[in-house]
Amino acid sequence: MKQATDQIIIQRADVRLEILPWGATLRRLEVAIGGGWRNITLGHPTLADYQTNPGYLGASVGRFANRIDHARFRLDGVEYALAANAAPNHIHGGPGGFSARTWDVLGVGEDWAEFGLTSADGDQGYPGEVVARAHYLVGDDGVEITYTATTSAPTVVNLTNHAYFNLDGEGAGTIEAHLLRVDADTFTVLRDDGVPTGEIHSVEGTGLDFRSPQAIGAARTQAVANGWGRDGGIDHNFAVNGAGMRRHAVLSTSDLSLTVFSDLPGVQVYTGNHLAGEPGTSGAPYSAFAGVALETQAFPDSPNHDNFPSAVLRPGQEYRTTTRWQFS
């Protein structure tokens, strides 16, 4: 039986991952560049740091990623009360969510690893027993993460990986000069506490327009000045154009580019506004904006908005979603 502290390393060609059973967490993502290896994701030095710090660095987040208004939702005429860990709201599956569990290691190969977790009926207030899987696969030029889940009763599911990227290297400074493109014409408008109002708004003129590549620092400054930023930066769900497996975003620096593909309807762009002080794998605490999260997802609070894509999972159905990170 694997322990929470076990480090599982998988690799192919120029990409190498280190994964922890705790939270099925991606601790390091290294790419071969410039004659050496560069770690381009943020992580913590010890298991205790993952257990005591709130940043979800590299974690598999669920049962429902992002926020649910006032920690409650109604499904099939029944209202469910969830654990309010961002009072009065619920975030990232609650205080005992999937990121705060030791997942079972179901199998490991040279370039793949699969983890499993069973979430009991009533866990964090959610209905139905949910059996989840997280499958990491390393390709020649990237990484593919597939999440699956089944349920014993109608419920809601929204799984994502909460990796923070810094293409200059973990601990190399901020991502302010990184260029970001997001394939979205609209985003979900937020209240001050980060919960969507239900309005879907055009990105034009907001500072959140990444339809062509924008420097993250300049964009977040404009978004804050225009009244669309949050906590001094960006922490917004973008409604990605199209459907099915498609490009969601491109993050780039002078010598490395990351393209994110997924079949999910949205992507949360979070510029690491609250990373200051989080202990890093390089041995030094991070600053604000030390990394950017590109969380492919269902829309936040979708169980409470009929105009958002549904996140309902019913018995006999399989939740399955894949996100691919391609490097060049």
CA nearest neighbour of 139 among 24, 10, 295, 8: 10
Confidence bin at 89 (pLDDT 50/70/90) = very high
pLDDT band at 285 (very low <50, low <70, confident <90, very high): very high
- Domains, the chain, with CATH or none: 8-327 (2.70.98.10)
Residue 307 scores a pLDDT above 60: yes
What residue type is 131 in one-letter code?
V
Average pLDDT score, the chain = 95
* Under 8 Å between Cβ of 261 and 249: no
Question: Cβ atoms within 10 A of the Cβ of 46, count?
Answer: 11
What does the pLDDT average to over 309-314? Answer: 98
Distance CA 30, CA 15 (A): 6
90 is catalytic: no
Which residue in 18, 30, 170, 295 is the catalytic one? 295
Q: What local confidence, expressed as pLDDT, does residue 229 receive?
A: 85
Asked whether the CA dihedral 261, 199, 59, 269 is positive or negative, the reply is positive
Q: Which of 101, 57, 65 is nearest to 292 (CA)?
A: 57
Mean pLDDT in residue range 206-219: 96
Nearest to 168, CA basis, from 34, 75, 26: 34
| pTM passes above 0.75 | yes
Q: Which pLDDT score, from 0 to 100, does residue 214 have?
A: 97
Here the tokens at position 131 are 């059996």
pLDDT value of position 3: 63
Percent of the chain having pLDDT more than 90? 93
Q: Determine the pLDDT at residue 2.
A: 56
| DSSP annotation of 119 | E
What tokens does 95 get? 């205080």
Choosing from 162, 236, 248, 305, the catalytic residue is 162
Does the active-site annotation cover 18?
no
